[in-house]
Amino acid sequence: MSFSRRDFLSALAAWPCLASLPQQALAEVKIGSGVLTAVSDGHLVLPGSFMFEPMTKDELAPILQEFGLSEDQLKPACNLALYRDGENTVLFDVGSGPDFMPTAGMLTESLYGLGLSPEDITHVVFTHAHPDHIWGLLDEFDDPLFTDATYMMGRDEWDYWWNPETVNTIGEDRAAFAVGARRRMEAIEDTVEFFDDGQEILPGVAAIASNGHTPGHMSFEVRNGSDAAMVVGDAIGNHHVAFARPDWPSGADQNAEQAIAARRRLLDRLSAEQMTLVGFHLPGNGIGRAEVSGDGYRFIGEDL
């Protein structure tokens, strides 16, 4: 059996981390005969202004107090969704990789903790192309990490980040987002598959447009028999303001008005159907459900 330099580096990187990894296999929900598992990529450290700047401080204060949050700094979890149906092993987003934040980029180690390697992934499906969702695409040699996977992205999201003018129009604070996304997309441009709103992109996986956080953001309904769950990406980007006050604009969203409409649609449906959801930045393992609470909602995390 041949043992490549890539194999050696992957094994070397994983070895010291395995003992301290959380038991990711427990963070899962059955979808018929399939399994949807939350996989940690670590967490981010963000200035509170990244999200809270457009909000009225007096109205925001009681929410921050209720959830024990600081106005100055946020540390949102990064929870990817992994769906296995016995035939396909589908990873939604690929995390930050090593180049975004030191507190994130642990996806490969988390996969090893589940007994998986990047080569086991059959499909990578992107919700959107922000750094913490796409920068983990490349390995140490700037090659696609998931060597045997089919890469899939919404057509509108791809077109936005592929446009050479995006780096000039997205704003100075996010110009690096555009450069980083384009660099990684160039690595898969000849093999990526595109999809549109409402399309069943894989057996039991349907794309649902939830644009606003980015111009082409997608969520995904995963259904097997009578069981279903929703992978919401960053369309519902936190467990506090996004649920309690979904109509408030967030500084994290590129188009606040569209993001509010998408968030409302998802929360209305999730709460009405009591459908399990997986949120990329929701606490714990990101798995839970939405429940109506007053004029808004609240996140009920699953104790898995």
Low-confidence ranges of the chain (pLDDT < 70): 1-26, 303-304
Number of domains in the chain: 1
Long-range contacts of 18-26 (CB under 8 A, 24+ apart): 18/109, 18/112, 18/113, 21/109, 21/110, 21/112, 21/113, 22/110, 22/113, 23/113, 24/110, 24/113, 24/114, 25/114, 26/304
Task: Check residue 22 and give its pLDDT.
Answer: 41
Structure tokens at 163: 């446009």
Task: Check residue 26 and give its pLDDT.
Answer: 53
Structure tokens at 254: 């590129």
Q: What residues make up the domain containing 109?
A: 5-301
- How many whole angstroms separate alpha carbon 111 and alpha carbon 61? 38
* Contact in structure between 300 and 277 (CB atoms under 8 Å): no
- How many whole angstroms separate alpha carbon 242 and alpha carbon 144? 33
* Contact in structure between 168 and 56 (CB atoms under 8 Å): no
- 62's enclosing H/E stretch is helix 57-67
Task: Check residue 156 and give its pLDDT.
Answer: 98
Q: What are phi and psi of 20, to 5 degrees?
A: -100, 0
What is the model's pTM? Answer: 0.91
Tell me, what CATH number does 212's domain have?
3.60.15.10
Task: Check residue 27 and give its pLDDT.
Answer: 86
Task: Check residue 23 and give its pLDDT.
Answer: 40
Vertex 223, ends 136 and 202: CA angle to 5°? 55
Give pLDDT tens digits for 155-165.
999 999 999 99
Give pLDDT tens digits for 179-212.
999 999 999 999 999 999 999 999 999 999 999 9
